[in-house]
Structures are given as C-alpha cells and as structure tokens.
Amino acid sequence: MSGFVFSEKPIEIASGDGVTLTDANGTEYLDFGASYACTPVGHCHPEVVDAATSQLEELMYVQASYPHAARTALYERLSEAGPGDVDDVWLCNSGTEANEAALKFARHATGREKIVATTQGFHGRTMGALAATWKQKYKQGFEPLAGGVEFVEYGDADAMREAVDDETAAVILEPLQGEGGINPAATEYLQTVREATAEAGAAMVLDEIQTGLGRTGSMWAAERHDVVPDVLTTAKGLASGLPIGATLCRDWIAEDAGNHGSTFSGGPVVSAAAGATLDVIEREDLPDHAAEMGAYIRGQIEERLGDDVRDVRGDGLMIGIEVKRGSNRLLRDLAIEHQVLALPAGRTVLRLLPPLTLEREHADAVVDALAEVIG
C-alpha cells in the first residue's frame, strides 16, 4: 500500500529556505513554482515559523464556535485587507473549499441557481468547484457534477452580458487565469462583468486563489482593474503553505449565506501562520516588489529569447511563457539540468510563480536557464 493520486517526481525534497528547496541528496533548486504559489514570503520564513510553532505549543486546535485570539485577529486582518467593502470573512482549508462556499453563499443569498463560468477557468476539483471548471479531462468519470453551470468565452464582454440574467446567482472567474494558460483579462472586460452582475442582482465572484496576496503587483488583482466584487476567494499562500482558504463577502451575501460549516475552519495554528504571512507581505511591500521583479523577468525573457517563444504574458510574478513545443520536456530539463523548478499551464505554457521575496540574482539565474533549454 502506498500513496496514490499524485505522480511523484524523481526529486525528494528535504528542506526549504527562502526561494530555495534542497533535496535529500543536498542539491539546491530555485523554486519558481512555489508549489503553485503557496509560499509568497519564501520557504520557512522565520516569522511564520515562529508564529506557528509558538501557537502549536499553546493550543493546536479548537473549533471555530469558540473564539480564539489568532482566528479573531485573522478575521480582522482579512477584513481590512479585502478590496472595498468585501469585509465579511469565512475561513476554510483550501481554495476549492473557498470556491465551494462562494457558490453556495451566492445561491442562497440570491435564491437563484444559475452559475456563469468561463472557458479555460479553473476553480477546483470537488463536485461544485469542478462543475465550474472548464477542462473536461478533470471531469471524466466523476459526472454528473453539480448542475446549473453555463460557460461563456473568457474575455468576451458581449457573451457575458448575454449570459447574465435574472436567473443568475453568480459569475465566477479569475482576473488572470492560471491553470488555463496565464491569460490576463482586460480591465474593460472585468468592469463589464461587474456592471452586468450588479444590474442583474447576481454576485460577482473573483477567484483570487492564485492571483491574490500581492502576486500580480497589488494585494488583489481586482485592485489593478478598479473592480470590487461581491465575493473574493483566496487560499494557497495565505498561510505560507499550511492548509487554509478564505471566502470574503460583501454584507448582502454574508447576511443571507445560509447554513454552512467546516470542522477545521480557522484553526489556531494556521490562523497564526496566516497572520504572520500577511504581516510580512505588507511590511516588506511585496506586491510592489512583485510588480518590479515581474516586469524585469518578462523584459529579460523577451530580450533573451525573442522569437524562440510565442508569447510572454502575465502580471507581477505570475508569468506565462508560451513555447513552440511541449512544456513538460522543458520543465524536466530545467529541473534536472539547471536545478530550476517551474510549472506547466497547459501543454505549451511554462508558468513561473516564484516566492515574492526573490531578488534579481535569482531572476537572472532562471532566465539564463530558460535561454539554455528554450533557445
């Protein structure tokens, strides 16, 4: 008997520090995937480690019906950090769970069923979130999923306006698609979604599980587009890799969210780690640093690789490099030959999601490696 579901890579990771992972043989790797954006302040940041271990020694867990200082503080921090008046907070254990809650809350608050989602969108792998995810291969063998979901072309404002009507409970979308290929949305498009949902009395749900917490150059990608959603979901790096998710809502959603719950909602240890992570992001101004370093990396890739790639796109430190051949072999060569860990975003896109704490020397090393394997 052994683990299943994941296909394990031939690199056994033993430890991490900052932007670096070290394997069991002592080989160091630059981590430009951050386990799908889960370590925004770097691996084992001392403040996060101290907050989590200190809390671990006092109280490992108490259920959320009993107030606890670390959880209450995190409620307040996220309430303050949310865009506009999106300041009611539900804590859970993952991005998928945050999205499941968002869809449930929207249906209950509106009394409607229809969910509008987008082509190439990814929102998770449980039955509700998977129903709003575009890629069919993730759904094979698991259907029927939750019903009432209609897909429209990502970026098509006219199609969105036509789809959103008085039967719509919510529109769920990413402001910059990750799994779907690092596909940015135009500001005008996101503002059209905001207008259409407001006019129809539906909820606009922004999935910021990968884009949030400073990754795209602002605390939330929504802020870059001057859009305030009704619901915003976040997870991944919120507790620097410990399992947590959050669904932030406007009052009209939170006040009629229905009967919902989770045993491990906002446990003391993960809440302490999340609070420390937010402290570091804000104090070190990591959103601005992500914007600066992302622009530098994209510029260097365009200069060094030019016509060897089809496109370089993204915002901040959420970068996609569309290549002319399959991405998996290039990712293997980066890891084995150059000790750089990155991610795919579809068959032909290399995805870079490094810790937001990286410096120019790390960026230069990765661009050199990319030039070797792609050029």
Looking at residue 145, the DSSP 8-state letter turns out to be -
Listed residue (102, 46, 41, 111) closest to 289, CA to CA: 41
DSSP 306: G
Give yes or no for a contact between 234 and 31, defined as CB atoms under 8 angstroms apart. no
Tokens at residue 124, please? 């998770």
Question: Do residues 131 and 107 make contact, with C-beta atoms less than 8 angstroms apart?
Answer: no
SS3 state of residue 347: coil
- Residue 186: how many other CB atoms lie within 10 Å: 11
Q: Is 305 strand, coil or helix? A: helix
Domains of the chain: 13-41+285-374 (3.90.1150.10), 46-283 (3.40.640.10)
pLDDT at 8: 87
User: What single-letter DSSP state applies at residue 88?
Assistant: E
Other C-beta atoms within 10 Å of 46: how many?
12
Q: For 258-315, write each residue's pLDDT tens digit.
A: 999 999 999 999 999 999 999 999 999 999 999 999 999 999 999 999 999 999 999 9
Q: Mean of the per-residue pLDDT values for the chain?
A: 97
Q: Which residues of the chain have pLDDT under 50?
A: none
- The Cα 3–Cα 86 span in angstroms is 39
Which residues are within 8 A (CB) of 133 and not within 5 positions of it... i.e. 6 or more apart? 117, 121, 122, 123, 124, 125, 139
* Strand stretches in 190-305, DSSP E: 203-207, 231-234, 245-249
